Chain A
């Protein structure tokens, strides 16, 4: 069964700290992996998309890495700010037969304290 696990479920850090969110997946046969941000009661905002052939992607203070062989991805947030407080979701696009399937993790709820 193709599953995506995110640890920790919740994280609270002081402002300015660098932090890492983790995502692990059970099957290395993937097309890509996408990190999303979700604010309370809102939809998802795409942050970074990493293709299966890539090792990392960067956008501003965010850096996402992908290690397919070990089934892991990390989202690194530098110099965290209170505005970064949100739930971060990892979604993996698995190969499934001749098609693909997008599977989400349950997310990590991040709180950045001023």
Chain B
């Protein structure tokens, strides 16, 4: 375990469903991120939270809605998804967002399949 925990590990949902992905870290990090990993593509940054405030939204469709209630928890709320949204969703954290010299810690990901 890396210290960043994601649940569930696997999720299958219909296009009309509403579900949420959860990410939790107790590393004392202040920045958290959602990434999407599709087949044969580089990781795509979706959202960045720094000190519980959303500081970056990389043109992500509104059917993805992030929430960061505190510095240890990050959620990604999903609704009316499309089959092309099927991917591995990875959560990461770092000490601070603009960390000079600090790396990222990733969770194991949630494998999402939209049917």
Interface on A for B, CB 8 Å cutoff? 4, 31-32, 34, 36, 41-46, 49, 51, 89, 91, 99-100, 102-107
Contacts and interface: CB of A to CB of B under 8 A. Distances in A.
B34 interface: no
Contacts of A91: 43, 104
State the majority secondary structure of interface residues on B: loop
Interface stretch (B13-21, B65-73, B77-85, B106-114): B106-114
A69 B88 CA distance: 34
A43 B40 CA distance: 15
Chain A contact surface mostly: strand
Chain B interface size range: 20 to 34
B101 interface: yes
Nearest to B109: A43
Interface string B80-111: 00000000101010000110111111111101
Contact of A106 (B41, B45, B90): B41
B111 A46 contact: no
A48 B40 CA distance: 23
A4 B43 CA distance: 11
A42 B108 contact: yes
Given A41-B88, A41-B111, A105-B42, A34 B104 contact: yes
Contacts of A36: 106
Given A42-B109, A44-B106, A46-B2, 20 more contacts: A4-B42, A34-B104, A41-B88, A43-B106, A43-B107, A43-B109, A44-B90, A44-B92, A44-B104, A45-B106, A46-B105, A49-B101, A49-B102, A49-B103, A91-B104, A102-B45, A102-B104, A106-B40, A106-B41, A107-B42
Nearest to A34: B103
9 contacts: A44-B92, A45-B106, A99-B97, A99-B98, A100-B98, A102-B104, A103-B42, A106-B40, A107-B42
B98 A43 contact: no
